[in-house]
Amino acid sequence: MAHVESAHLVELALSNATPTDADAEALRHIDHCTRCRDELDMLTRLVTAARTSEAADLPTTPPEHVWRRIIREVSRERGTPPPPQCPWHDDGPG
């Protein structure tokens, strides 16, 4: 059997569907294929981390001074002034 398609490995990691004959065949292949087994293990860890995350794990909005600095640096790199609609538009040192 050829390697298990990445999309199929994702489905196996999610384990949302009722197992099929194709799943059984894929799992038999995974038993003997380090590459597919490692990819399934990684995807399973990712799914577990996503499913067990809590609000405290989510990113927060950066403070305004961070946005000002980002806009200033990007504008400097492009050689253009910050957009006028930007609420943090300033020309001061950063």
Q: How far apart are CA 26 and CA 20, in angstroms?
A: 10
- 88: its two tokens: 């943090």
Q: What pLDDT score was predicted for residue 88?
A: 52
Q: What pLDDT score was predicted for residue 94?
A: 44
- pLDDT by residue for the chain (94 residues), tens only, comes to 699 999 999 999 999 888 999 999 999 999 999 999 999 999 999 999 999 999 888 888 888 888 888 888 888 888 887 776 665 545 544 4
Q: Which of 19, 14, 13 is CA-nearest to residue 38?
A: 13
Q: How far apart are CA 87 and CA 68, in angstroms?
A: 9
Q: What pLDDT score was predicted for residue 71?
A: 85
Beta-carbon contacts of 64 under 8 Å, excluding residues fewer than 6 positions away, are 88
